[in-house]
Amino acid sequence: MPCFSTYSSVFCGRRTRGNVSVQPPIQRVSFRLNSCLRSWQAVLFAVCLLLTSFTHATFAQESGSGSRVKLNVWGLQSGPESAGLDAQVLEFERRNPDIDVSLLSMGAGTMNPQKLMTSIVGGAPPDLINQDRFTIGDWASRDAFQPLDRFLQADKGPSQPVRREDYYPAAWNEAMYKGRVYAIPTGIDDRLLFYSRKMFREAGLDPNRPPRTWEELKEYSKKLTKLNPDGTFKQIGFIPNWGNSWLYLYSWQNGGEFMSPDGRTCTLDNPHTVGALKYMAEMYDMLGGYDKVNIYQSGFQGAEQDPFFTGKIGMVINGSWNVNTIARYAPDLDFAVAPPPVPAERLEGKGRFAGQSPYITWIGGFSLAIPVGARHPNEAWRFIKWMTSGEAAVIGASAQKKFNEEKGRPYVFDLSARRTTNDLLFKKFAPENPRLRTVQKAFIDLLPESKFRPVTFVGQSLWDAHVRAFERACQHAQTPQAALTEQRILVQKELDKAFARETLPIFSFARPIACIVLLSLCGLAFGAARIRQQVGHSRAAQRETVAGYLMAAPWIIGFLLLTAGPIVASILLAFSDYDVLHAPRYAGLSNFHTLFTDDRELIGKAFYNAGYLAIIGIPLGMATGLAIAMLLNMKIKGMTWYRTAFYIPSIVPAIASAVLWAWILAGDPNKGLLNAVWRATLTEWFGLLPPGWFGVADWAKPGLIVQGLWGAGGGMILWLAGLQGVPASLYEAARIDGARGWAQFRHVTLPMLSPYIFFNMIMGTIGALQEFDRVYVLGGGSGSAGPLDSLLVPVLYLFNNAFRFFKMGYASAIAWVVFLVILMLALLQLWAQKYWVHYETDKR
Amino acid sequence: MTAFIWLIAIVLGVVAFVVLLSAIVAAARAHRTSLVLLNVLLLLGLVAVVVLGRNPFALGAVALMESALALFIVKRTTRNAAHMGGVMQLSAAHCTLLAGSLLFLIPFAWLISTSLKTDEEQAIFPPVWIPTQQTTVAGITNAEDEPAGVSWYLKDSPKQVKVAEIANLPSGRVLVQSLEPQAGTGKIEKKTFEANRSELTKIREVSPRWKNYAEALEFLPPETHYGLTFLGNTLFLTIMTVLGTLLSSSLVAYSFARLHWPGRNLLFVVLLATMMIPSAVTMMPQFLIFRSLGWIDTLLPLWVPAFFGSAFNIFLLRQFFMSIPTELEDAAKIDGCGPLGIYWWVMLPQVKPALAAIGIMSVMAAWNNFQGPLIYLSSPEKMTLAYALQLYQQQHGGEPGLLMAASTLVVLPIIVLFFFTQRYFIEGVSLSGLGGR
C-alpha cells in the first residue's frame, strides 16, 4: 500500500519515531477504511463519477465551442406543431451561417416573467425575447429591455426593413414607452362577435342581420336563451365576458379610457367605464344573475366540445385565433362574424362620438424585444428583421399550410401586426373555405380601428383591478361606481408610489458597510489580542490554536460571507428600495409600513395559510406517523417490508410528488384518481360531489395536506426510534396497575414520547412557515398562488417580491417578519414545553 | 339512509375480515388444518358476498354470522383470554398495516399506470388501471405511416365487420379498409370506404404505451440530449454537495469537538444560533453576492456553499466526535500524528455511520433542491432534474402520460438509491431527529 504511506507522511508531519517497522495504529485504521468500502459501493460511486464527468465535460464543451454566434431566443416555442416557425428559423440560419439560433422551449420565457427578470438582473439574459406587447411598458419602465431606436435609425433609407408606417398604429404604439420603441410587433389579434347562424334561424332571427347596438345585443341574447324545465340553461344567447371581451371592450366602445395621457393618473372610474360596467351587469341580471351564468359556464369545455360549436351559446365575442380553432375542430360550423355591437349613439355618430368610427375592437399580441445585457444585440436585431419580414411570413405560412394539410386540417394564417404582411398573406394563403375567408377578411378589416391596453408599468395591476371590479359589480357585491372607484384608488396608490420613488434619496451602502467592516476589524484585533493572551507562550497550545482555527476556517469564512454578511445586507435592504437594475434608494420604514397597511391583507393571508397548514397538517402528520410506528412496534413479521412501503413516499422528490398529486387530485370532478373514489363512495352514499381540489380556494389547502400526509412515513422512523426507547419495565408496571390500551398509551407512551412530539412540533412549525417547493408547483407554477391566493404562503410571497418584481427591499422586510414570527413561535413552544414535555433525565 | 346502512355493513365486513384472519392464524398455530381450511372457505364466502352481492344487508348479515363462527374457532384454538387477545390484536395490526401500506403505494401504481396509458385512456372516467391500446394490424399503414388501428364496424347489418382505420378525413369521417375475408374465396379484399366515428368501436388489447417515455424525452430541447444533461447536472451537483458537506462539516466539527482554542465556545454558540436563521433572510443578499461574482446561470451557487459546512451537520458530527474515547487520539499523538492526521486516520473512521447518514441526507437535499435552481438557473443545458420537471409540467400539463413518464424518470434513481442504502436512510432520519433534541 504505497499510496497510503505517502498520504500518512503528508498528514503526519511530526513523526518523532523514525522506526518504520513498528506499524502505528493509524495505518490499521486506514486499512479498515479501505476494506469497508464494499465492492458494489465503490463501483456505484465510480460509475456515478464517470457519468457525471462525462456528461458534464462533453456538454460543457459543446455549448462553448464553435465560431458561430449562439443566439438565445426565449418565448418562441418550437414543438411538434410549429412547422412554420421551424422553417423560418432554418431559412434564417441558412442565410446567416454565422448565427446558430437556439429556441428555448421549456416554458420559461413568455409565461415566466420571474425567470426572464432574474436572468436580466443576473446579467445572463437571452438575446431575444418574444414578449406579450401588453407587458412591454412594464419591462421598459424597469429598464429591462433595450430601446431599439438606434437600430431603426441605422437602417434608415429607402429600403428600410422595419418601418413604423407598415404597422397598425395600435400595435406599434403598444410597444412604445415614453417615446421610444422597445419591441417590434409580430402577431396581432383583434376581437369580433361570432354568432351561430343555425341558432339564429331556430330562434326566428335573420341570420344575415347580426346585432349592431348594445340594445339589440341584449334583445337577441334574450331570444336565443332557452331554459330547461328545471330552470337551468339549455342554451344561452350571449355572456358578456365569455370569450375575450372584458370590461376593456365595453368601456372603449362607450368612450371610456383607463389612464390619463401622461400616464400618472388612473381613470378607471370615469363615467363611461361605469356606464359600460352597468351594461355588463344588466346583461348578467337579465340572464338570471352572474352566479347562475357562472355555474352554466363552468361546464364549458374546449376543442371539439367548445360551447359555441355544440350550440350551448349563440353569440360570443372572441379573438381572431378562434378562427383557427373553428377550422380545426368545427370546419362545417354555420356561423358568421360581425363587429362587436356598440352603444346606439356611437353607431349613429352622435354626441361625443361625432367623427369617430362606428365600430371598434381591441388588440393584443406578441413582439420581439432585446433585453438589457444581451450578448449579441446586433445578431438579435438581424433575427428581428427577418422574423418580421414579409418573406419570412410567406415561408412560415407555406410550411405551416403544408403541415396542416398533411394532418387533414384546413389552414388559416395567423394575423400579422404588419399591414403589408397581412395583405400579402391574404393574397397567397386566404382560406379556401369561403366562409372562413370572409371571416378572416372581417378580422383584418377591423384592425385599423383598434384600441390597445394602456402602456404603463401598472398594466398588470390595472388588469387585475378591472377584473375584480367587474366581478364585484356583476355579483352585486358593490355598485359599478363603488367597485371601480375602490379599484382605481388601489392602482393610483401604486402609481403614486412609483413616482414618489424617484424623489427618494440614493442610499449608498458604502458608508454603513465601511462602518461595519471597521467595527469588525476592531473586534478582530481585540479578539486576536485576547486569544494571544489566553494561549500564552506554550508552543503546543499555540500550534493547537492555529490548527483549530485553520480547521474551523471553512465554517468561519462561510459564516462571514454567506450568513453574517447577508444578514447585515438584509437589514440594510429592508430599509431601502432596490430593484437591482437601479441604484438603491433610502426608503426608511416605508417597506414595513406598506407591509402592515396596504398589503396587510396579503401578508395576513399568507400567514393564515401557513397557520392552516401547520395547525391541521402537523397534528395529522404526527398522528399518522405515530399510528404506523405503533403498529410496527408490535414486533410484527414483515416489519421491514411495511417500513419500506410506508417510508418510500417520503423520499420522493417534493416536485415529483407535487406533480403526481396534481394529477391524483384533479380539479375536474370527472378526472383524477381520488375523485373517482370519491364518486364511487361519498357521492354514491351521501350525494356529495367531488371537490375541485387545487382549482378552488376552499379545497386547495386540504389538498396540500393530503399530499403532505403521503410523506408522513418519514416521521414514522423517528417515532419508531422513540417507541423503542420506552423501557419495557414501564409498560409492565402499568399493566400491573391495571392500565390497558388507551390508558397505557395516555399515561406511558405519550409522556415518554413527548420530547419527540415537541421536536416534531418545532420542526413542523418552522417547516410550515418556510413551505415553498410544493406550493410553487401546486399553486400553478411561475409564482401564482392558487385560486384566490389560497396557497399564498410567506416564502412564496417573499419569493415573488424578490425574484419576480425585484423589490429586494420589500422582500427583505418580509423576510425579517417571517424570521420574527418563527422566533416567537419557537420561544413560545420552548416556554410551554416545561409544562408538558417529559424528559426522563429530569428525574435523575 | 342507504349511506348509513352501507357504512355499518362495511364496518361489520372489516371486523369479520379481521376476526377471520385471526382465526386462521390461531388455527394454524394450533396445527388444526381442517379449521384453517374452514376459515379460508368462510373468508372466500365473505369476499364472494362483497363482489357478487353488492347488498348492504346481505353483507352485514354474512359478516355477523361469520364473525361469530370465527370468534368461536379462535376461542377454541387459543389457550386463554390473553393469548386470544394477542392473536386478534396481531391480526388486526397486520390488516391495518397491509391496507395502509397498499394505500401508500397506490400513488406509485397510479404514476406508473398513467405513464403507460394513451391520451385517449387518460380521459376515461372512472379511470382504468391496466393500459390498453387499439390493436393494430401489420402490413397496413395509416396516414401517419404507423400500423393502422383495428375497429369493429357496425352499421345496418347485424354482423360486425373488422376494419382497419386508414385516415381521419377533414370532414370528420374515417377512411377504413375492410379486414373480413371474402365469403367463398377466403381472401381479404382491399376494399376501402368511409365511416362515421360513431359507427366504429375500437378493438383494444392490453399493451402499455412505452412510447410515452420516448416521447417525453423527445420533447426536451435538443441541447439537453434527451435530458441526459439534466441528469448529468444533478449528479454533478449531488456529488459536489456531498463531498463538500462531508469534508468541511467533519473538519469543522472535529475542530470544535477535539481541539482547544480560545473563542471556540463562543463561536460554537454563534454556530448554534445560525441554525435559527431561516434561509429566507439570506436568500436575497446571497443572490446579490453570486450576481456580483457573475455566477448567475451557472451551477456554482448551488454547490460551492456546501464546502463551507452546514451548521446542523457540524453540530451532529461534533456530538459524535465528543463521544470517541481520547485513548485513540493519544495513541496517534504518541505516534507523531498532527491534528489533520488524527482527524483523517483516527477520527473519521470512527464516525463512518454518521457520515453515511449525513451523506444520504445531503444526496436527498441536493437531488431535490428546487428553490436554488429556480433562482439561479435559466439555460436548459444548466437545469437540474427537479426544476426541469416543474417546467415540463407547465408545458405538458395537458398530457399526463408524458408528464408521468418524466416524473417516473426523476423519481426512479432516488428509489433505486434507497434500496441500496436503506439502512443509512433510516439512520439518517433517526439521527437528525435525535440530534435536534
Cβ of A118 within 8 Å of Cβ of B108? The answer is no
> Which of B100, B221, B341 lies nearest to residue A12, judging by beta carbons?
B341
Q: What is the pLDDT of residue B183?
A: 65
| Mean pLDDT value across residues A353-374 | 91
Residue A151 or A79, more confident: A151
Q: What is the pLDDT of residue A18?
A: 37
- In 3D space, the residue among A238, A216, A201, A242 whose CA is nearest the CA of residue A314 turns out to be A238
Chain A residue with minimum CA distance to B328: A25
Q: Which of A100, A659, A724 to mutate to test the interface with B (most CBs of B within 10 A)?
A: A659
How would you write chain B as a 3-class SS string? CHHHHHHHHHHHHHHHHHHHHHHHHHHHHCCCHHHHHHHHHHHHHHHHHHHHHCCHHHHHHHHHHHHHHHHHHHHHHCCCHHHHHHHHHHHHHHHHHHHHHHHHHHHHHHHHHHHCCCHHHHCCCCCCCCCEEECEEEEEECCCCCEEEEEEECCCCCCCEEEEEEEECCCCCEEEEECCECCCCCCECCCEEEECHHHEEECEEECCCCHHHHHHHHCCCHHHCCCHHHHHHHHHHHHHHHHHHHHHHHHHHHHHHHCCCCCHHHHHHHHHHHCCCCHHHHHHHHHHHHHHCCCCCCCHHHHHHHHHCCHHHHHHHHHHHHCCCHHHHHHHHHCCCCHHHHHHHHHHHHCHHHHHHHHHHHHHHHHHCCHHHHHHCCCHHHCCHHHHHHHHHHHHCCCHHHHHHHHHHHHHHHHHHHHHCHHHHHHHHHHHHHHCC
Q: pLDDT category, A62, cuts 50, 70, 90?
A: very low
| Mean pLDDT value across residues A685-700 | 81
> Which of B261, B314, B390 lies nearest to residue A555, judging by beta carbons?
B314
Cβ of B371 within 8 Å of Cβ of A772? The answer is yes
Residues 6+ apart with CB under 8 A from B162: B150, B151, B152, B153, B178, B179, B180, B203
Q: What is the pLDDT of residue A840?
A: 65
Q: Which chain A residues are closer than 8 Å to B305 by Cβ?
A: 558, 562
Question: Quick check: B265 contacting A, CB < 8 Å?
Answer: no
Q: Is residue A611 scored above 90 in pLDDT?
A: yes
| Mean pLDDT value across residues A226-248 | 89
Q: Is residue A620 scored above 90 in pLDDT?
A: yes
Cβ of B341 within 8 Å of Cβ of A567? The answer is no
Q: Which chain A residues are closer than 8 Å to B235 by Cβ?
A: 48, 51-52, 55
- Alpha-carbon gap: A269 to the closest alpha carbon of chain B (Å): 36
Question: Quick check: B292 contacting A, CB < 8 Å?
Answer: no
Q: What is the pLDDT of residue A833?
A: 84
Q: Is residue A786 scored above 80 in pLDDT?
A: no
Cβ of B338 within 8 Å of Cβ of A641? The answer is no
Q: What is the pLDDT of residue B182?
A: 66
Per-residue pLDDT tens listing for chain B (437 residues): 677 787 888 888 888 888 888 888 888 888 888 888 888 888 888 888 887 877 888 888 888 888 888 888 888 887 777 787 888 888 888 888 988 989 999 999 999 999 998 877 877 777 888 888 888 887 777 777 778 888 888 766 667 778 888 877 766 677 888 777 766 666 666 777 787 777 788 888 888 888 889 888 887 877 778 889 999 999 999 999 999 999 999 999 999 999 989 889 999 999 999 988 888 999 999 999 999 999 988 999 999 999 999 998 999 899 889 888 888 888 888 888 888 889 998 889 988 888 988 998 899 899 999 999 999 988 888 889 999 898 888 877 778 888 999 999 999 999 998 888 888 877 777 776 654 33
Cβ of A548 within 8 Å of Cβ of B105? The answer is no
pTM, 2 dp = 0.81
Q: What is the pLDDT of residue A66?
A: 55
Residue A274 or A106, more confident: A274
Digit-coded pLDDT (tens) for A410-467: 889 999 999 999 999 999 999 888 899 999 999 999 999 899 998 888 888 898 889 8
Chain A residue with minimum CA distance to B364: A651
> Which of B106, B223, B274 lies nearest to residue A63, judging by beta carbons?
B223
- Alpha-carbon gap: B398 to the closest alpha carbon of chain A (Å): 10
Digit-coded pLDDT (tens) for A65-87: 457 888 988 888 777 778 899 99
> Which of A26, A409, A554 lies nearest to residue B252, judging by beta carbons?
A554
Question: Quick check: B335 contacting A, CB < 8 Å?
Answer: yes
Q: What is the pLDDT of residue A340?
A: 94
Q: pLDDT category, A265, cuts 50, 70, 90?
A: very high
Among A397-411, A433-447, A533-547, A672-686, the least confident range? A672-686
CA A562 to chain centroid: 27
Q: What is the pLDDT of residue B245?
A: 95
Q: What is the pLDDT of residue B188?
A: 67
Tell me if A475 sits within 8 A of A281, measured CB to CB: no
Whole-number Å distance between alpha carbons of B25 and A700? 44
Q: Which of B2, B378, B417 to mutate to test the interface with A (most CBs of A within 10 A)?
A: B378
Question: Quick check: B281 contacting A, CB < 8 Å?
Answer: yes
- Alpha-carbon gap: B342 to the closest alpha carbon of chain A (Å): 8
Strand partners, B168: B174
Q: Which chain B residues are closer than 8 Å to A540 by Cβ?
A: none
Q: Which of A551, A682, A756, A757 to mutate to test the interface with B (most CBs of B within 10 A)?
A: A551
| Mean pLDDT value across residues A395-415 | 88
Q: What is the pLDDT of residue A724?
A: 85
Q: What is the pLDDT of residue A65?
A: 45
Q: What is the pLDDT of residue B295?
A: 92
Among A35-49, A99-113, A334-348, the least confident range? A35-49
Q: Which chain B residues are closer than 8 Å to A70 by Cβ?
A: none
Q: What is the mean pLDDT of chain A?
A: 85
Chain A residue with minimum CA distance to B403: A659
Q: What is the pLDDT of residue B223?
A: 73
ipTM: 0.86
- In 3D space, the residue among A348, A349, A352, A302 whose CA is nearest the CA of residue A328 turns out to be A302
Q: What is the pLDDT of residue A260?
A: 92
Cβ of B309 within 8 Å of Cβ of A558? The answer is yes
